[in-house]
Amino acid sequence: MSAELKPLIGISCCTDKTGLHPFHIVGEKYILGVVNGAGGLPLLIPALGDRLDVDQLLDSLHGLMFTGSPSNVEPHHYGGSASAEGTRHDAQRDATTLPLIKTAIERGVPVLGLCRGFQEMNVAFGGTLHQRLHELEGYIEHREDKTQPVDVQYGLAHEVHIEPGGLLYELSGCSSARVNSLHTQGIDRLAPGLQPEATAPDGLIEAFSVTHAPNFALGVQWHPEWKVETSTFYLSIFKAFGNACRARAAQRIL
């Protein structure tokens, strides 16, 4: 691959409405994470469900990132009880990301899942979620304080223990790290084939890798895309993802 070419990295979109019109959208911080952290060329993937030609898409991409979102995975996808009133969902995103995750990983496309994307990866492979961690005994507060400025909300909130010898340990060189925390839901039952990579002080799994993946496949509960260049730990995740995407791009032009 020419030194000037950047790997093409798809970013999952959410759906929302602005005025009377539906939009497919993604937060700028995820786009900048791909550009500044992974050194990639971002491509936004609309939430089209089965109208998306997955095979053609994956033939063109060198990596995929599944983002966080104001919405949660609908609980019927993992046999969960009905959501609390007022919970935001995005059925079009679920219909797009859940099958796309499995197909992308099977085909060896590097995958990085963040927050909702991390939870989607668990659900896609048969795991379940806690819907409201703050109502369960034994868990620390994982939600952000929404009355605070955004820099405070995305500030470091708690430590995670990183499993020695795992993917996250190898790419970061850290046995522990402090991370931000902006989530209500979390892993309940970890899906078969997912390997824990980091846990919060309360034992909650906050990172995993996909053991059967032929290429890079990592999910984290926190938001390493936030000002990624200012954190060596966050940046190490994106650099490893970007390197895997570049390696795939180079293989595909040989």
Give me the catalytic one of 74, 115, 120, 183: 115
Integer Cα distance of 198 and 161 in angstroms: 5
Give me the catalytic one of 62, 142, 183, 223: 223
223 catalytic per annotation = yes
161 catalytic per annotation = no
14 catalytic per annotation = no
SS3 of 78, please? coil
Q: Minimal CA–CA distance to 66: which of 218, 208, 181, 214?
A: 218
Q: Minimal CA–CA distance to 235: which of 38, 15, 17?
A: 38
Residue 81 Cα distances to 90, 131, 132, 192, angstroms:
17, 9, 11, 21
Q: Minimal CA–CA distance to 49: which of 95, 113, 3?
A: 95
Give me the catalytic one of 183, 206, 225, 245: 225
For residue 33, what is the DSSP state? Answer: I
Integer Cα distance of 217 and 210 in angstroms: 6
Contact 7, 40 (CB under 8 A): yes
Give the residue numbers annotated as catalytic, written as ranges. Answer: 115, 223, 225
